[in-house]
Amino acid sequence: MEPLLCLKDVKKSFGDVQAIEHVNLNIYKNSVIGLVGGNGAGKTTLLRLMSGVYRPTEGSVNLDNDRPVTEMRSVLGVVPESTGLYSKLTAWENIRYHSRLHGIDDQLAWNRTYRFAKLLDIDGSLHRYTEGFSRGMKQKTALLRALAHGPQILLLDEPTGGLDVTSARTVRKLVRKLKDEGGTVVYSTHHLAEAQQVCDRIIIVHNGIIQADGTPKELLELTQTSTLEEAYVSLTRETARPRMEETEKTSKISAMWRRLFTPSSSLEVNEDE
């Protein structure tokens, strides 16, 4: 089976800081892949490499037919940790603006949006301004925005971070449904229990290195442990490096994510997460 997304000998550094070291990774169709690791492990850097926001210092990140990811961003849906919604626009206006950047017809975008909005229980709020939205409502809107153009791969950075129990459960339910319908999701989280609930493959990242890659059962067999928590501890005994402080203002980072699918592919913020 040919991978949808392939990272080959990928390394990413920021000055003297080695954020990601020689990662080889294949993402296949119809799967939910969990990127699990603590703060500073390199999960966000990996996602930004996968989405084409970062260019690797060494190696390659390619999509179908060995084409660089920077040339095929339209097949990706991305939900960053910071949603980057325009507060003076309604939820639908945020989604429609994003869809038009992809050349998607408004009616098609609306049909897709409304279908998933009902699953997320946000269909009654699509015409409300996002300025007054809760964290959960903003996260759901960002998910709808990422799905409206029909991406082949959905990249989620801590999608349930800061959400209440009900909202987090709704997001996980949507991810499982996407997988059941043949979708592919890369799901970054530092919650092992959450990864076990939604992911059929778990990649443990620690200090910029992939320490293990397999199903929950395979990770337990590899470490001879009885729980994923024990397996994670066994695989990450090395002291975690400190998380690097951001060197750019948050607003600039958010703006960069919002411009993810614009023609320019030269933007890169030199910071490590």
73-83 in b/e burial notation, b at 16+ Cβ within 10 A? bebbbbbbbeb
Residue 198 pLDDT exceeds 70: yes
**Torsions phi, psi for 8 (to 5 deg):** -120, 115
pLDDT at 272: 43
Q: Which of 70-74, 75-79, 180-184, 226-230 has the lowest mean pLDDT?
A: 70-74
Using alpha carbons only, how large is the chain's radius of gyration in Å?
A: 18
**What's the average model confidence in pLDDT over 132-137?**
90
Residue 214 confidence (pLDDT): 94
Q: What burial letters (b/e) apply to 24-59, b meaning 16+ CB within 10 Å?
A: ebebeeebbbbbbbbebbbbbbbbbbbbbbbbbeeb
What's the average model confidence in pLDDT over 43-64?
91
Confidence at residue 186, expressed as pLDDT on a 0 to 100 scale: 96
> How large a percentage of the chain has pLDDT more than 70?
86
State how far the Cα of 93 lies from the Cα of 99, in Å rounded to an integer: 10
Question: Does the pLDDT at position 273 exceed 60?
Answer: no
* Contact call for residues 189 and 197 (beta carbons, < 8 A): no
Top-ranked range on mean pLDDT: pick from 59-73, 203-217, 245-259: 203-217
- Per-residue pLDDT, 263: 47
Strands (E), the chain: 5-14, 17-27, 32-36, 58-63, 67-68, 76-79, 153-157, 184-189, 201-206, 209-214
Specify whether the CB–CB gap between 195 and 36 falls below 8 A. yes
If one compares 86 and 66, the residue with the highest pLDDT of the two is 86
**For tokens 């989620």, what's the residue?**
156
Flag whether pLDDT at 199 surpasses 70: yes
How far, in Å, CA of 251 to CA of 254, rounded?
5
Domains and their CATH numbers in the chain: 5-258 (3.40.50.300)
Contact by Cβ (8 Å): 186, 47: yes
Is a pLDDT exceeding 50 seen at residue 220?
Answer: yes
Q: What is the maximum span of the chain, computed from C-alpha positions, in angstroms?
A: 53
**CA angle (159, 163, 164) in 5-degree steps:** 140
| pLDDT at residue number 83 | 86
Predicted confidence (pLDDT) at residue 26 exceeds the cutoff of 90? yes
**Beta strands across the sheet bearing 32-36:** 76-79, 153-157, 184-189, 32-36, 201-206, 209-214
Q: 253 vs 38, which has greater pLDDT?
A: 38
Average pLDDT, the chain: 86
Helix, strand or coil for residue 201?
strand
Sheet with 17-27, strands from edge to edge, namely 17-27, 5-14, 58-63, 67-68
- For residue 257, which phi and psi values (nearest 5 degrees)? -65, -40
pLDDT confidence of residue 156: 94
The pLDDT confidence band at residue 265, using thresholds 50, 70 and 90, is very low
| Amino acid (one-letter) located at 103 | G
Report pLDDT digits (tens) over 99-119. Answer: 999 999 999 999 999 999 999
pLDDT of residue 264: 45
Mean pLDDT for 210-220 is 93
Q: Give the model's pLDDT for residue 192.
A: 86
User: What pLDDT, on the 0 to 100 scale, is given for residue 240?
Assistant: 56
Cut 0.85: pTM above it: no
